[in-house]
Amino acid sequence: MDRRLLDEDAVMQICFVTHDALKSAQWFADLTGKTVPAEGRAAEPEEAQAIYRGDPAEVGCKIRMFSFGNIDVEFLEPGPEKSAWRDLLEEKGPGCHHIAFRTRNLTQRNAYLTGKGHALLQRGEFDGGHGRYAYYDTVQDLGVMIELLEFDKDREPQP
């Protein structure tokens, strides 16, 4: 892998899907002594421009994000619609959904992962259109999905 396409501190986040983000976050707060973070949500459909399994989709979720300085721990409660989040929760129940990596070139990383046979399951925009995410099916090889996060401020200049 071309390391220059990833930041030095490329691992950004570990995400757990759950039936109840607040309940899971409270349990984690009790464990760590941290305060339960405010609820976040997926971007609105017109901003997110989400694609799920190749088709436009409206996907929603509730999020509780704990920051540890070097990594975030996310608890994600998917909405009722089909999504990469809902799929794993229905198939396996609550648990680790993905490990997120920050990238400077999502296009090249996408080509690399799909070229290795890892299907792009879901993608979309976030942060007011200043970033994008993509989930890849790496479960068979790693036991967990990989998420790539690309922020406009980090993005390599496009040719």
pLDDT at position 43, please? 85
Stated pTM of the model = 0.86
Q: Quick one: pLDDT at residue 44?
A: 86
Tokens of 72: 């975030």
Question: What's the pLDDT score for residue 10?
Answer: 80
Per-residue pLDDT, 159: 60
DSSP reduced 3-state for 108 = helix
| Dihedral over alpha carbons 76, 141, 91, 28 (to 10 degrees) | -30
Low-confidence residues of the chain: pLDDT under 70: 1-9, 129, 158-159
* Residue closest to 59 by CA, chosen among 81, 76, 41, 74: 81
Q: 3-154 maps to which CATH number? A: 3.10.180.10
Give the chain's length. Answer: 159
Query: What element of type H or E holds 107?
Result: helix 106-115
- Least Cα distance to 146 among 84, 89, 72 occurs for 84
Neighbours of 100 (CB within 10 A): 22
pLDDT in the model for residue 1: 45
pLDDT score at 146: 95
> Domain map of the chain by residue range?
3-154
